[in-house]
Chains A and B, each alone.
Chain A
Amino acid sequence: MTQHMELKTFVAPPTMEKPPEIALRNAPETKMAARDLNVFYGDKQALFDVALDIRSRQVTSLIGPSGCGKSTFIRCLNRMNDVIDICRVEGSITLDGADVYDPAIDPVQLRALVGMVFQKPNPFPKSIYENVAYGPRLHGLARDREELDEIVTTSLKKAGLFEEVKDRLDEPGTGLSGGQQQRLCIARAIAVSPEVILMDEPCSALDPIATARIEELIDEIRENFSIVIVTHSMQQAARVSQRTAFFHLGTLVEVGDTADIFTNPRDQRTQDYITGRFG
């Protein structure tokens, strides 16, 4: 608990007082900001001078053809690229104004604040309860079993899964359907009270009904989190996000309101990609 709080204090210094909630809704503040971001895998450069803001309480979708750098970008936001030896990150990424690549930052703590949901649902081979309780326990977020129960229940409710699993919390998470497993992963991400949730193609392994549930869930939880979603489905980006960023060949080509990007994009490359004209 203390460790977690310390990091929060570090990440959001007291000088940066958060505006009241109503003001937030009217004028979205910048939650995370990337500036002059260059990423290399060995000799190969994957991102070129990317500058992008992730706004509070909004869903930002990243679209672009395979290999355009959108997954690389999202993985920089919570330092998932740290685990790749040949990966080198230059430039800055800030969370509430604080540099996430500061050596003083513990990546594990960072990932509690910037949670992640992956393409394929990957629940731990443990019970439904343990899947959700794992993070809070690791980060010492609950003092006793009662508090832990509370966190697990709330997280499952927020992820829209509680009603379906409340009578079988001891059963393995891997026994759930694909869509349920993905919502379990979202509950697991929510359980450690993150501020940002990164989703790397969270619905690509799900059927349309399960996809619709996840999309509805994203829309519900964006009130409390900043969400970044990488998706290959333009329709999904259009449905769930308020802002859309288009990447191509490692550069950020265009970012804007989702409605503008999909009706009247400024850049020819964006136009060609979203209308299915890329050669």
Chain B
Amino acid sequence: MSKISDHIVTSYDAELNRLNALISRMGGLAETQLDGAAQAVLRRDAELAAQVRAQDTEIDALEHDVGALVVQLLALRQPMAVDLRYIVSALKIAADLERFGDYAKNVAKRAIAISQMPHIPSPGLDRMARLVQAMIKDVLDAYLENDTDKAIAVWNQDVEVDQLYNSLFRELLTYMMEDPRNITGCTHLLFIAKNIERMGDHATNIAETVHYQVKGVELPDDRPKGEDPSFAVFHAADSGDAE
């Protein structure tokens, strides 16, 4: 694959490098935001959570910058082949990272609410957050290194996130049944878990985009997926058999 920066026209290279820098910066921020949000939940740290919420605007602004630069590149450079895929991919990745940041913000918002309530132990949540953090880090490395193997590894990892979410769902449901006073807190944790699970999906999307960008072909549709717990538990209650 061609290096992104070896065009005859050097100002084109400069613009592509700027695009690359914007995505890297967005990715770095997204990682930090997830880390901050997860820490805020686990440490019941409302101050950190507020900080995470405030920082989301920076990711949003970067997404706008990426959008503007992509439109400019498409209009002025008429990119072809690998350049075209690179530029279109940047736009898609920026959208995924922006959504990723939104979920981090949502988690932080709930962290503030949770910090006022009795503590509910949820070790599964920490594991999920760590896993998704590793995924987003790896997929961004894959992006920067054009490494499709690494991207595919991330793509395959999402099934673990789904499984963790599934067991967390059951765990929290048990707490709620044990003591109805846990319901509010557990509901917040459930939403947090769902948000982190969705972040994993966006990391997976980025993995697919990286694969397309490098190889020019899409990954297959049949990504390994965990069962959907919202349905599984309903069935489990009825028949004792998860579907």
A275 contacts partner chain B, Cβ-Cβ < 8 Å:
yes
Interface readout for A245-279 with B: 1 if CB under 8 Å, 0 if not?
Answer: 00000000000000000111100101110111111
Q: Does residue A234 face the partner (Cβ distance < 8 Å to B)? A: yes
| CB-CB under 8 A for A263 and B216, given A268-B2, A271-B81, A275-B2 | yes
Alpha-carbon gap, A239 to B140, bound state (A):
34
B83 contacts chain A at the CB level, 8 A cutoff: yes
With a cutoff of 8 Å between Cβ atoms, the chain B residues found around residue A278 in the complex are: 8
Contact with A along B62-96 (1 / 0, CB 8 A): 00000000000000001111111100000000000
Is the beta-carbon distance between A271 and B2 smaller than 8 angstroms? Answer: yes
On whether the beta carbons of A265 and B81 are closer than 8 Å, the reply is yes
Q: Which residues of the partner chain A approach B217 to less than 8 Å between Cβ atoms?
A: 264
Interface of B is mostly: loop
Q: List A contacts of B216 (CB < 8 A).
A: 263-264
Is B175 part of the contact surface with A, judged by Cβ < 8 Å? Answer: no
From 95 to 153 in chain A, residues with beta carbon under 8 angstroms from any chain B beta carbon are none
B160-191: which residues lie under 8 A (CB-CB) from chain A?
A: none
Q: How many residues of A contact B (CB 8 A)?
A: 17
Tell me which residues from 73 to 121 in chain B have a Cβ below 8 Å from any Cβ of chain A.
78-85
| Cβ contact of B85, chosen from A235, A263, A270, A277, cutoff 8 A | A263
Report yes or no: B80 in contact with A234, Cβ–Cβ below 8 A. Answer: yes
Which of A270, A275, A279 neighbours the largest number of chain B CB atoms within 10 Å of its CB? A275
Query: A268-B2, A275-B79 are contacts. A263–B7 as well, Cβ < 8 Å?
Result: no
* Cα-based distance from A274 to B84 in the complex (angstroms): 11
> Are A262 and B7 closer than 8 Å at their CB atoms?
no
Residues of A within 8 Å of B83, CB to CB, are: 275
Q: Give the CA-CA distance A263 to B80 in the complex, in Å.
A: 6
* Binary per-residue interface labels of chain B (212-243) against chain A in the complex, 1 for a CB within 8 Å, 0 otherwise: 00001100000000000000000000000000
| Total number of residue pairs linking A and B with CB closer than 8 Å | 42
Known: A276-B7, A277-B7, A278-B8. A263 touches B2 (CB 8 A): no
A274 & B81 in contact (Cβ 8 Å cutoff)? yes
- How many interface residues does B have (CB within 8 Å)? 16
Q: Give the nearest-CB partner of A234 in chain B.
A: B80
Chain A minimum-CB-distance residue to B78: A235
Asked whether B8 lies within 8 Å of A262 as measured between CB atoms, the reply is: no
For B79, the chain A residues whose CB sits under 8 A away are 275
**B16 CB, nearest partner CB in chain A, Å:** 10
A260 to B, closest residue via Cβ: B216
Are A263 and B12 neighbours in the complex by a CB distance under 8 Å? Answer: no
Distance in angstroms from B35 CB to nearest chain A CB is 37
CB pair A262–B6 under 8 Å, yes or no, is: no
Query: Chain B CB within 10 Å — which of A264, A268, A270 has the most?
Result: A264
Contacts of B80 in A (CB 8 A): 234, 238, 262-263, 274-275
CB-CB under 8 A from A263, the residues of chain B are 80-81, 84-85, 216
Chain A residues lying within 8 Å of B82, measured Cβ to Cβ, are 271, 275
Shortest CB-to-CB span from A71 to chain B, Å, is 22
Q: Given contacts A264-B217, A268-B2, is CB(A276)–CB(B8) below 8 Å?
A: yes
Q: Is the CB of B81 within 8 A of A276?
A: no
CA–CA, A274 to B85, complex, Å? 13
- A-facing residues in B5-47 (Cβ within 8 Å): 6-9, 12
A277-B84 in contact given A263-B216, A264-B216, A264-B217 (Cβ < 8 Å): no
A262's contact among B2, B12, B84, by CB below 8 Å, is which? B84
A276/B2 contact (C-beta < 8 A), A234-B80, A263-B85, A265-B81 known? no
Structural contact, B84 and A276, CB atoms closer than 8 A = no
Expressed in whole angstroms, the minimum distance between the Cβ of A57 and any Cβ of chain B is 26
**Separation of A259 and B7 alpha carbons in the complex (Å):** 22
- 21 A-B pairs within 8 Å (CB atoms) are namely A234-B78, A234-B80, A238-B80, A262-B81, A263-B80, A263-B84, A263-B85, A264-B216, A264-B217, A270-B81, A272-B2, A275-B2, A275-B7, A275-B79, A275-B80, A275-B81, A275-B83, A276-B8, A276-B9, A277-B2, A277-B7
Known: A263-B80, A275-B83. 10 other contacts (CB 8 A): A234-B78, A262-B81, A263-B81, A263-B84, A264-B81, A265-B81, A271-B2, A272-B2, A275-B80, A276-B7
